[in-house]
């Protein structure tokens, strides 16, 4: 029997994502001037206020207030009427030195023996249902909001948009897990107060369906375009009005959108957030590493769908174990346990080796903090960072290295494909 599956996304202006972006901007600035920085930074945003808290071990000094304000302004909170804007909000820092009890478990005489920064389990997932090996409902949810943000910045076809928004896509699947059609699309977008409630809602609904949706469809491959139909149930600003939003409408916290950040509810999640953590924290680095494994295995033809789990103990260099579930999609006679053993021989999952393989000591994290950490396009960009004393550094930074298909040939050779 056919079934429905739903995933959601939130925009860069969503309060939780504002918090994530500030935390990751701090990570990038610390790593830019001291690549060995150890950082765990949490951010809270609310009406007119930003609170930074966490632990840092670094040789550099930053103007954390300026970094927070610049991030907020870049997102688009630049007007006093939003009750939260980068130029006037208060910024309180309660960042302090990292605990010696934590650092002693991570730091070693040689980097190869670096212990895991925490205990826990991390999951990576990949599926062949999209070109970027991501679950389709989440991929579409992200695309809707990225395109909505582009429309907001263009300020031409739609002129009333504010930064906060959410999306949700429900897809009907066949018994054999193939997408058949889109059942429903939900868009809630913050907007200016430009008329009566009924008039605003009618205008927003018309613009979403006639302007946003066609722009998204035009960027999709034909097989995904065919899932759109005239019977989709659209729920546009279902409450009827969304003027009050962002951190003024809802307090935001770092790490509160972990399902949006990963696979939209497909596969599994170990519970650890990513943003605000340097790569010695396996919550982040090992989640990227398992996605890298999963994507390369599906691309190599080992399976059509896969979930990879790895687990660690704090201060211990070797993982506790690797688990694999291919959901019965492996086309040759090999068990999931045998696939897990083969993965262990291909991919070194010691924390420092993950950092080296994926080049995680770069200031590469601000770009991850909105629209998902997985399924993104690897690219190299040039970034410039400036310290309070005026010293600057310009770096070429590789983004989303865990999305590279650079191990496909290695996997094929290991599995005799």
Inter-axis angle of helices 282-300 and 351-358, to 10 degrees?
Answer: 60
Q: Collect all residues with Cβ–Cβ distance below 8 Å to 406 and sequence separation of at least 6.
A: 296
- Is residue 281 annotated as involved in ligand binding? yes
- Is residue 404 annotated as involved in ligand binding? no
Q: Enumerate the β-bridge partners of residue 379.
A: 399
Q: Which pair of tokens denotes residue 234?
A: 């659209």
Q: Which pair of tokens denotes residue 64?
A: 């954390």
Query: Judging by beta carbons within 10 Å of its beta carbon (0-12, 13-18, 19+), is residue 104 exposed, middle or buried?
Result: exposed
- Is residue 166 annotated as involved in ligand binding? yes
- Is residue 242 annotated as involved in ligand binding? yes
Q: How far from 367 is each of 1, 325, 400, 411, CA to CA, in Å?
A: 40, 30, 9, 28
- Is residue 356 annotated as involved in ligand binding? no
- Is residue 261 annotated as involved in ligand binding? no
Residue 78: CA count within 13 A, CB half-sphere = 7
- Is residue 383 annotated as involved in ligand binding? no
- Is residue 241 annotated as involved in ligand binding? yes
Contact 352, 114 (CB under 8 A): yes
- Is residue 348 annotated as involved in ligand binding? no
Q: Enumerate the β-bridge partners of residue 28.
A: none
Count of beta carbons in the 10 Å neighbourhood of residue 299: 16
- Is residue 14 annotated as involved in ligand binding? yes
- Is residue 112 annotated as involved in ligand binding? no
- Is residue 16 annotated as involved in ligand binding? yes
- Is residue 55 annotated as involved in ligand binding? yes
- Is residue 280 annotated as involved in ligand binding? no
202 three-class SS: helix
- Is residue 42 annotated as involved in ligand binding? yes
How, if at all, do strands 49-57 and 90-97 pair?
parallel
- Is residue 32 annotated as involved in ligand binding? no
Residue 80: CA count within 13 A, CB half-sphere = 1
How, if at all, do strands 120-127 and 90-97 pair?
unpaired
Binding residues: 14, 16, 42, 55, 98, 164-166, 241-242, 250, 256-257, 273, 277, 281
Binding residues for Mg(2+): 16
Binding residues for K(+): 42
Binding residues for ATP: 14, 164-166, 241-242, 250, 256-257, 273, 277
Binding residues for L-methionine: 55, 98, 250, 281
């Amino acid at each position: 029997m056919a079934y429905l599956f739903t995933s959601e996304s939130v925009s860069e202006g969503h309060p939780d994502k504002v918090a994530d972006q500030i935390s990751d901007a701090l990570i990038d600035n610390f790593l830019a001037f001291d690549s060995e920085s150890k950082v765990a930074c949490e951010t809270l945003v609310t009406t007119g206020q930003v609170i930074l808290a966490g632990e840092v071990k670094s040789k550099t000094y930053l103007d954390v207030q300026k970094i927070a304000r610049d991030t907020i302004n870049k997102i688009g909170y630049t007007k006093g009427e939003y009750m939260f804007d980068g130029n006037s909000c208060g910024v309180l820092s309660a960042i302090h030195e990292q605990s010696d009890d934590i650092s002693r478990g991570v730091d070693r005489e040689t980097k190869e023996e670096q212990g895991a920064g925490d205990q826990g389990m991390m999951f990576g997932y990949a599926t062949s249902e999209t070109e970027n090996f991501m679950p389709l409902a989440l991929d579409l949810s992200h695309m809707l909001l990225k395109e909505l943000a582009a429309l907001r910045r263009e300020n031409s076809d739609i002129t009333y948009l504010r930064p906060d928004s959410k999306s949700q896509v429900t897809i009907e699947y066949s018994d054999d897990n193939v997408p058949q059609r889109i059942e429903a699309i939900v868009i809630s977008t913050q907007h200016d107060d430009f008329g009566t409630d009924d008039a605003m809602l009618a205008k927003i609904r018309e613009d979403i369906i006639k302007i946003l949706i066609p722009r998204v469809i035009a960027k999709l491959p034909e097989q995904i375009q065919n899932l759109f139909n005239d019977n989709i149930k659209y729920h546009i600003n279902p409450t009827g009005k969304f003027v009050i939003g962002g951190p003024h409408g809802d307090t935001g916290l770092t790490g509160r959108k972990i399902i949006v950040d990963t696979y939209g509810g497909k596969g599994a999640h170990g519970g650890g957030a990513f943003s605000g953590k340097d790569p010695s924290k396996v919550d982040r680095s090992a989640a990227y590493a398992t996605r890298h494994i999963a994507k390369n295995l599906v691309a190599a033809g080992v399976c059509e769908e896969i979930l990879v789990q790895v687990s660690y103990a704090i201060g211990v260099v070797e993982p506790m174990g690797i688990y694999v579930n291919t959901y019965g999609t492996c086309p040759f006679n090999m068990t999931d346990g045998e696939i897990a053993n083969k993965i262990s021989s291909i991919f070194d999952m010691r924390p420092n080796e993950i950092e080296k393989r994926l080049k995680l000591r770069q200031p590469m994290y601000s770009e991850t903090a909105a629209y998902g950490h997985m399924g993104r396009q690897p690219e190299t960009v040039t970034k410039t960072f400036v310290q309070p004393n005026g010293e600057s550094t310009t770096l070429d930074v590789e983004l989303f290295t865990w999305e590279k298909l650079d191990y496909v040939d290695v996997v094929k050779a290991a599995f005799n494909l």
